Amino acid sequence: MAYYRDQPQPSSDIQRYYDDAPGQAMPQHAGFQAQNPFDSTQHIPLTAAGPRSAQGGPMYTQAATQSTADFAGAANQNYKAGDWMEASKSSNKRSKWVVIGSIVALMGLIAIGVVVGIVVSKNAKKSNSNSGNSKPGSPAVNQTDPNDPSTFVKNPNLHQSLYGLAYTPQGSQLPDCGAQLSDVIQDVQLMSQLTTRIRLYGADCNQSALVLEAIKQTKVNMKVWLGNYAIATDNGAAYQRQRDIIKSAIQTYGTDHIGGVTVGNEFMLNYLNANGGTVPDSSIGDAGAAILISNIQDTRNMLTSLNVNLPVGTSDAGSYFNTKVLSSVDYGMANVHPWFANVSEADAAAWTAQFFQETNLDAAAALPNKPKMYIAETGWPTKSSDAGNAHNGPGTASEAGLQTFLNTFVCQANTNGTGYFFFEYFDEPWKDVQFGGVEGWWGLFTANRTLKHITIPDCPAP
């Protein structure tokens, strides 16, 4: 089955995939949709499943005391009364000290038990706090009122420090369409503690409406950039299908929580790859641009028919923006991945900022329409499913590498006022099954919504 994602083909343009960095490999993670003509599911289950409570058994501290007494035998004929009194006094003294010693020992055991209990409790709290989750099988987010998703309990380890997050709901690939509102609600509850902005890649499987419904029920401060994952080789079928789904979602939920509509995800890259091209501003590139620009204008017409005014943009690999396309949008989103540029964790943030400035911001500023530019994706993988892809130049796929990139990129980008969507919210194991390597392991959270062993920077996003 083919997927709405950037699929590698034997071509020399692999070396130019993201950003003209030499020796980089063609990544697979950017897309997620299945190419399938079937219509997506429209039904939204409006009642989220209540959280399950985890139960644990009580903890007991066991202690035992023991005392003994040695008394003189009555058959001792030489035992005098004075001797008996002295023996009795001595015995009483010994008994008293045994009792006192036993009490002291018991109190010591109790004190030790209290200390152990406190340490265990603190460690348990620390463990739960670091994981961002409860025991396996419990909900990722607890709610004060299980029937009201807006009453969710905040995780003190999460901070609204990210400008935005890249998000693909679980089960949003055609033809399966298994996305559930209860899952999306949990995702929105967690993501809202990290950012006020998320971006989607496509609209199939009703994900636009699911996200907007989740925002409505959780009552969080969040905007979503809806996505239309147009396909470069299907004569507009995927574009038209998703356009109508987006239209329906806007009619139902309005635009208060919509930041824009993104038409195309790496459309130009995929068109060039499918037609033997390598240069966006070429005759082959212009042919692809004409298709994409037509879709962009059609989306504007759809919004106008609804009496709606929303920004319309496109997303592509950092080096693959066609000038005519960029001149036709309100905003552009550029994938800027240091991992694929063969740089180290320590140099990744600086490389990202420089590349985005020189390749995307400067190009947009030179155009009459001056489209707003965002980083559509940037991040660092935390592992590889095989040893051969665990390193890309000096970089290593690891949680430590992700932590380094978070530490060096996030707060500096916030200070600079850079608009970026961190890649990504959680791991997507289906990509690992399909593509292997690092493809499924870019999340801040694991697939079961557990925060990885990382610390979220604490610096407010713009």
Reference 380, options 332, 423, 434, 343; nearest CA is 423
In a domain, 337, yes or no: yes
Are 100 and 145 contained in the same domain?
Answer: no
Checking if the pLDDT of 396 tops 50, the result is yes
In a domain, 14, yes or no: no
How far, CA to CA in Å, does 85 sit from each of 15, 72, 73, 80, 81? 103, 11, 14, 9, 6
Checking if the pLDDT of 111 tops 80, the result is no
* Percent of the chain surpassing pLDDT 70: 70
Query: What's the burial of 168, exposed, middle or buried (CB within 10 Å: 0-12/13-18/19+)?
Result: buried
Out of 131, 165, 188, pick the residue that ends a domain.
Answer: 131
In a domain, 8, yes or no: no
Are 305 and 411 contained in the same domain?
Answer: yes
Checking if the pLDDT of 408 tops 70, the result is yes
The least confident of 39-48, 197-206, 215-224 is: 39-48
Are 178 and 127 contained in the same domain?
Answer: no
Q: Given pLDDT bands bounded at 50, 70 and 90, which one contains residue 112?
A: low
| Segments forming the whole domain that contains residue 175 | 140-435
Are 199 and 340 contained in the same domain?
Answer: yes
Instruction: Count structural domains, the chain.
Output: 2
Sign of the C-alpha dihedral, residues 360, 362, 363, 364?
A: positive
Please confirm whether the linkage preceding 146 is cis (ω < 30° from 0). no
In a domain, 79, yes or no: no
- The arithmetic mean of pLDDT across residues 196-211, rounded, is 98
* Percent of the chain surpassing pLDDT 90: 69
Are 156 and 240 contained in the same domain?
Answer: yes
In a domain, 240, yes or no: yes
Checking if the pLDDT of 100 tops 70, the result is no
Q: Given pLDDT bands bounded at 50, 70 and 90, which one contains residue 118?
A: very low
Are 108 and 248 contained in the same domain?
Answer: no
Are 121 and 188 contained in the same domain?
Answer: no
Is residue 393 classed as helix, strand or coil in its secondary structure? coil
Q: By the 8 A CB rule, do 187 and 171 touch?
A: no
* The pLDDT of residue 4: 36
Tens digits of residue pLDDT in 48-83: 333 333 333 333 233 333 333 333 333 333 333 333
Are 333 and 218 contained in the same domain?
Answer: yes
What's the mean per-residue pLDDT of the chain?
81
* The pLDDT of residue 140: 81
* The pLDDT of residue 388: 94
Q: Given pLDDT bands bounded at 50, 70 and 90, which one contains residue 293?
A: very high
Chain-centroid distance of CA 57 in Å reads 32
Highest mean pLDDT range out of 17-26, 32-41, 264-273?
264-273
In a domain, 210, yes or no: yes
**CATH classification at residue 158:** 3.20.20.80
Are 96 and 227 contained in the same domain?
Answer: no
In a domain, 447, yes or no: no
Q: Given pLDDT bands bounded at 50, 70 and 90, which one contains residue 362?
A: very high
Checking if the pLDDT of 20 tops 90, the result is no
* The pLDDT of residue 297: 99
State the alpha helices, DSSP H only, in 254-380: 267-274, 283-305, 323-326, 345-355, 362-365
Token pair in block for residue 311: 């920004």
- The arithmetic mean of pLDDT across residues 338-363, rounded, is 98
Are 288 and 416 contained in the same domain?
Answer: yes
Token pair in block for residue 261: 């509509």
The least confident of 63-77, 348-362, 369-383 is: 63-77
More confident residue, 229 or 18: 229
Please confirm whether the linkage preceding 213 is cis (ω < 30° from 0). no
Are 102 and 248 contained in the same domain?
Answer: no
Out of 111, 131, 151, pick the residue that ends a domain.
Answer: 131
How far, CA to CA in Å, does 58 sit from each of 55, 111, 241? 10, 18, 55
Out of 67, 102, 131, pick the residue that ends a domain.
Answer: 131
Are 285 and 410 contained in the same domain?
Answer: yes
